[in-house]
Chains A and B, each alone.
Chain A
Amino acid sequence: MTKSFLQRDPIQRDRDMVRESRLVERTLIALVFVILALFFFAPMLVVFVEAGRKGLLAYFTAIADPETKSAIKMTLMVATLAVPINALFGLAAAWAIARFEFPLKNLLVTLIDLPFSVSPVVVGLSFVVLFGSRGYFAPLLVQYNLQIIFAWPGLVLATTFVTFPFVARELIPLMQQQGVEDEEAALTLGACPLKMFLTVTLPNIKWGLIYGILLCNARAMGEFGAVAVVSGRIRGMTTTLPLQVEVLYGGFDLSGAFAIASILAGLALVTLIIKTVLEWRHAADLAASQRH
């Protein structure tokens, strides 16, 4: 004579339910760790193991290669330009969206996400069609003797486009949640708008901004698709680190490819660590924008 589930002693019943959900909980957690180990830790580990397989000397020789050095320089330059541009654009866009009402605002919010939803290769291709030697703006570019495609401006352009949403996406919900009262208080106390921005707005969004810039930078240095199309992969000239990895790998220089890959992987790890520290220390400030 078994009692039905509902007829059992209620306390016992609750315990059973808790126990059941515990089991599910533990299984899920274990599963997540297995998946992480397989698809995240293993590849990361392989990168470093492969990079160091031929010894430290080979590793540093590969990194000291002029082509690699040029790729490092190119990557740094692209990030140095694209990230500040996007920090400014993102700030401006977030400001406009969080502070003002204007027609087509929703459209703007959707457009900001466009770079996330469109394939980077398509972005690269459209830049080629616009700025390439037979592109729409070709006559203008020839007239002013400018080269965009197959040159660094193209890399910066493509990277800026692809990484645009990071800062804006981080700041919009944060600024919306914080509201305008602090800023209005500053104005009534006599601050001019610039002072208000520097002394009130910026400190309020500081951690969100840093967080956005961090993610933006990681993506800017790691971007492959869009950059691959516009760079033309001229070795030692227009290759960035991710492109160089592919170039070397294609040329069967595995240890070279992995040496560079280890730099990128190291960058990812550093990003991850800073991100964790930020999230841990400034949880409240970032709470509004947590979607990652």
Chain B
Amino acid sequence: MDITLSGLKKTFGQSPAIHGIDLKIVSGELLGLLGPSGSGKTTLLRMIAGLELPTAGQIFFGKEDASHKTIQERRVGFVFQSYALFKHMSVAENIAYGLKVRPKAQRLEAAQIYKRVAELLDLMQLAGYGGRFPGQLSGGQRQRVALARALAVEPRVLLLDEPFGALDAQVRKDLRRWLREIHMRTGHTTIFVTHDQEEALELSDRVAVLANGRLEQVAKPEIIYDQPASAFVHGFIGESNQIYVEQLNGRLFAAGSDLHLQCQDQTDGPHILFVRPQHVKLSQPTETGWRGQIKAIHQSFLGRRVEIALSDFNGTLDAIVNDSEKLVIGETIGVTLSNYRLFALAR
């Protein structure tokens, strides 16, 4: 089911949490909603579920305007960060809950409910756990029960609020892979919130980056990473070095010295230059190129990371370099950027 958000706004009292969001989520898509704390991710999800009423704007499920539908009518699967499992019900009862509370006319027969619960337990690799209570499960198992419970009602859209937030790194990794599998098998339109960028980039078909209640960029993970649409996205996703530069007559300067770099737009004025550590290349120093001095070398199993103090203007750069390069602390080297992005700074 396609989900379309149109001009969606939410204001709590005086303070706006979501400022007019337009977004279309394609049927069957796995969309990662990424953003810093307080950016409005939960609020957006809750509005789609009907747990929060938008101040303005509309939500469409397919062609149907769902803005004024009740929570129950929307039939979304919502997985809460804290799982919200019913403690006094067994795992099987939790999963069956949504099937059992339906009005009599729409309710499945007990045998069918039983069968469906068994299927879901299987799908979630929880076979044999049906009789346990939530208190007797590990965090990862609880998370899977919560997901099974949401899937049981055949939701039109699956909403996950930081589904792996409370789990340790290894369990997160396993569950991530497994969520991807479940998604491929069931094909539900899914939106999941995370503030773990690695998770979002690895798992999502598309990533939506939210900041201060606004969508900064919605794109495929590789586009988000390689072609960030805004300074915020570049700074938020992945690592980057930042240098404040001035664009004048189509040339770039820092502290008065010409950087000999290509401009990326027409607007003169202050810019911020982003370059990822793996795009900082070291070479023999030249007359016209950037020069720097090696301040520190950090060797780790991830590779070699070099801290460079730029000589011609104030600034330091982090570079990730080949293990084979011979480097000495204090050595003067040449620096080139194999890739960088410029964003105009608002004055």
- Is B234 at the interface (CB under 8 A from chain A)? no
- Interchain CB contact under 8 A, B78 and A188: yes
Q: Which of A181, A190, A200 contacts B72 (CB 8 A)?
A: A190
Q: Please, which residue of chain A has its CB at the minimum distance from the CB of B13?
A: A101
- Is A182 at the interface (CB under 8 A from chain B)? yes
- Among A189, A192, A199, the one with the most B-chain Cβ atoms within 10 Å of its Cβ is A189
Per the CB 8 Å criterion, the residue count for chain A at the interface is 16
- Is A53 at the interface (CB under 8 A from chain B)? no
Chain B residues near A289 (CB, 8 Å)?
none
- Interchain CB contact under 8 A, B82 and A181: yes
- Among B50, B80, B149, the one with the most A-chain Cβ atoms within 10 Å of its Cβ is B80
- Interchain CB contact under 8 A, A185 and B101: no
Q: How far, in Å, is B166 (CB) from chain A's closest CB?
A: 13
Q: How far, in Å, is A80 (CB) from chain B's closest CB?
A: 28
Q: How far, in Å, is A183 (CB) from chain B's closest CB?
A: 9
- Is B88 at the interface (CB under 8 A from chain A)? yes
- Interchain CB contact under 8 A, B97 and A186: yes
- Chain B 71-95 interface residues, beta-carbon cutoff 8 Å to A: 71-72, 74-78, 80, 82, 84, 86-88
- Interchain CB contact under 8 A, A199 and B80: no
Chain B residues near A182 (CB, 8 Å)?
84, 86
Q: How far, in Å, is A187 (CB) from chain B's closest CB?
A: 5
- Interchain CB contact under 8 A, B84 and A181: yes
Interface readout for B217-244 with A: 1 if CB under 8 Å, 0 if not? Answer: 0000000000000000000000000000
Complexed CA–CA distance, A200 and B97 (Å) = 10
Chain A residues near B98 (CB, 8 Å)?
189-191
Chain B residues near A191 (CB, 8 Å)?
72, 97-98, 101
- Interchain CB contact under 8 A, B80 and A190: no
- Chain A 188-215 interface residues, beta-carbon cutoff 8 Å to B: 188-192, 195, 199-200, 203-204
Q: Is the interface of A mostly helix, strand, loop or mixed?
A: helix
- Chain B 51-84 interface residues, beta-carbon cutoff 8 Å to A: 51, 71-72, 74-78, 80, 82, 84
- Interchain CB contact under 8 A, A188 and B71: yes
Chain A residues near B71 (CB, 8 Å)?
184, 187-188
- Is B153 at the interface (CB under 8 A from chain A)? yes
Q: Please, which residue of chain B has its CB at the minimum distance from the CB of A195?
A: B101
- Interchain CB contact under 8 A, A184 and B101: no
Complexed CA–CA distance, A192 and B98 (Å) = 11
- Is B215 at the interface (CB under 8 A from chain A)? no
Once A182-B86, A199-B101, A203-B88 are accepted as A-B contacts, the answer to whether A189 and B80 lie under 8 Å apart by CB is no
Interface readout for B271-295 with A: 1 if CB under 8 Å, 0 if not? Answer: 0000000000000000000000000
- Is B24 at the interface (CB under 8 A from chain A)? no
- Interchain CB contact under 8 A, B82 and A189: no
Once A181-B80, A181-B82, A204-B88 are accepted as A-B contacts, the answer to whether A188 and B101 lie under 8 Å apart by CB is no
- Is B49 at the interface (CB under 8 A from chain A)? yes
Once A195-B101, A199-B101 are accepted as A-B contacts, the answer to whether A187 and B72 lie under 8 Å apart by CB is yes
Chain A residues near B101 (CB, 8 Å)?
186, 189-192, 195, 199
- Interchain CB contact under 8 A, A188 and B49: yes
- Is B102 at the interface (CB under 8 A from chain A)? yes
Interface readout for B96-113 with A: 1 if CB under 8 Å, 0 if not? Answer: 011001100000000000
- Chain B 149-176 interface residues, beta-carbon cutoff 8 Å to A: 149-150, 152-153
- Interchain CB contact under 8 A, A184 and B72: no
Chain B residues near A189 (CB, 8 Å)?
97-98, 101, 149-150, 152-153
Complexed CA–CA distance, A84 and B152 (Å) = 38
Q: Please, which residue of chain B has its CB at the minimum distance from the CB of A185?
A: B84
Q: How far, in Å, is A52 (CB) from chain B's closest CB?
A: 45
Complexed CA–CA distance, A185 and B74 (Å) = 13
- Among B51, B74, B75, B77, the one with the most A-chain Cβ atoms within 10 Å of its Cβ is B51
Interface readout for A158-198 with B: 1 if CB under 8 Å, 0 if not? Answer: 00000000000000000000000110111111111001000
Interface contacts beyond A181-B80, A188-B50, A190-B153: sample of 17 additional A-B pairs, CB < 8 Å, sorted by A: A181-B82, A181-B84, A182-B86, A184-B51, A185-B78, A185-B84, A186-B97, A188-B49, A188-B51, A188-B77, A188-B78, A188-B150, A189-B150, A191-B72, A191-B101, A192-B72, A204-B88
Listed from nearest, the 8 A-B pairs whose CB atoms lie closest are A189-B98, A181-B84, A185-B84, A191-B101, A188-B78, A203-B88, A187-B71, A190-B72
Residues in chain B within 8 A of chain A (CB atoms):
49-51, 71-72, 74-78, 80, 82, 84, 86-88, 97-98, 101-102, 149-150, 152-153
CB-defined A-B contacts under 8 Å, sample of 20: A181-B82, A184-B71, A185-B78, A185-B86, A185-B149, A187-B51, A187-B72, A188-B72, A188-B76, A188-B78, A189-B97, A189-B149, A190-B98, A191-B97, A191-B98, A191-B101, A192-B101, A200-B86, A203-B88, A204-B88
